[in-house]
Amino acid sequence: MDHAAEAQRTDLMTITRHALNEQGRHPESRGDFTILLSHIVLGCKFVASAVNKAGLAKLIGLAGETNVQGGQGEEQKKLDVLSNEVFVKALVSSGRTCVLVSEENEAAIFVDAPLRGKYCVCFDPLDGSSNIDCGVSIGTIFGIYMIKDKDNATLEDVLQPGTHMIAAGYCMYGSSCTLVLSTGNGVNGFTLDPSLGEFILTHPNIKIPNKGKIYSVNEGNARNWDAPTAKYVERCKFPQDGSSPKSLRYIGSMVADVHRTLLYGGIFLYPADKKSPNGKLRVLYEVFPMSFLMEQAGGQSFTGKHRALEIVPSEIHQRSPIFLGSYDDVEEIKSLYAAESSTA
């Protein structure tokens, strides 16, 4: 490597440097968010390493436990258990968190007083677990809120609409490890450089295309869909305006499907259906963080009734239908639901 290339390599925008720059925009800030983020980043690096080693270390496979959604037939895998432990420890030890909600824990975790800070974090430590055994991309999703009063923390501090979130992101463990983050000032993507052990800014200021050529949905559920969803998917395949049909891409791992949607445009749907009237995806640690990122990137997110970020959750593991992605594509499904409700 020549000197110029070497010099350029040392001038990298790491995620910590980015967080410190963001901190500079808030003169009153004491660096608490930067510390919290560095602990989330540590958790992501740990899980990335465990995911990479999983096949070798025989970490994959059933742990013999059922998670809190177990009643609906989901089994907890060993990597999920490990990832959850890693994130809970990383978040608690940051000294900056107060209430934690994890997909893997039935109840919210209230951090002990001496370690309490001002943030609440809702997270899915390892989303897309049905993809673990075949090496398909999986990820961690997180949404962050500010506590009202850390000496009197209650469940109400996390049962907030998504519009109250102050930051959200996900880390995708795939062919590369990518962390996508928004602190309410646009969306940035950082890729883990394994030689440095640092997340480097590789996707600055991500903007989703206004319209996309891809739709992403589990079509196996089609016979149970409602009319607007069925009509929308039909239009993706047989457009009425003379445009080309959209391509179907569905990984079945939300982080990977949303990441592709964010970068290439298009729409991701997990609608309600007759079997699951509330859809499948969880509000606090799937729907809200991904909706926050979509809106920050110029896209939209809709529940079939209203803007997804305006849901006011009443339970921490609540589910919601979700349609998110390119602005114009979501606009189209919104108009189909509006037409249906006006004729109802």
Among 16, 218, 247, 278, binds ligand FDP (CB under 6 A): 218
Q: Is 130 in the site for ligand FDP (CB under 6 A)?
A: yes
Angle at 223 between CA 217 and CA 228, to 5 degrees: 65
- N-to-C CA span, the chain: 67
> Which two three-digit tokens encode residue 200?
């480097």
CA dihedral of 155, 156, 160, 165, whole degrees rounded to 10: -70
The residues that bridge with 66 in the sheet, in sequence order, are 75
Among 97, 178, 229, 253, binds ligand FDP (CB under 6 A): 253
Q: Give one DSSP letter per residue of 259-275, joined into a string.
A: HHHHHH--EEEE--BSS
CB of 71 to ligand FDP, least distance (A): 14
Q: Is 79 in the site for ligand FDP (CB under 6 A)?
A: no
Among 70, 135, 239, 252, binds ligand FDP (CB under 6 A): 252
Q: Which of these, 337, 251, 323, lies nearest to 294 by C-alpha position? A: 323
Q: Is 289 in the site for ligand FDP (CB under 6 A)?
A: no
Q: Is 101 in the site for ligand FDP (CB under 6 A)?
A: no
Among 98, 121, 172, 254, binds ligand FDP (CB under 6 A): 254
CA separation for the pair 50, 204 (Å, rounded): 27
- State the CB neighbour count (10 A cutoff) for residue 316: 22
Report CA Rg, the chain: 20
Q: Is 72 in the site for ligand FDP (CB under 6 A)?
A: no
Stretch that binds ligand FDP, among 14-22, 25-33, 50-58, 248-256 (CB under 6 A): 248-256
Q: Is 129 in the site for ligand FDP (CB under 6 A)?
A: yes
CB of 319 to ligand FDP, least distance (A): 9
CB of 35 to ligand FDP, least distance (A): 29
Stretch that binds ligand FDP, among 41-49, 108-116, 251-259, 329-337 (CB under 6 A): 251-259
Greatest Cα pair distance, the chain, in angstroms, is 69
Q: Which of these, 100, 110, 93, 158, lies nearest to 288 by C-alpha position? A: 158
**Judged by CB, which is closer to ligand FDP: 21, or 130?**
130
**Judged by CB, which is closer to ligand FDP: 182, or 253?**
253
For residue 246, the 8-state DSSP code is: P
Q: Is 93 in the site for ligand FDP (CB under 6 A)?
A: no
Binding-residue total with ligand FDP (CB under 6 A):
13
Residues near ligand FDP (CB under 6 A) are 127-131, 218, 252-254, 257, 280-281, 286
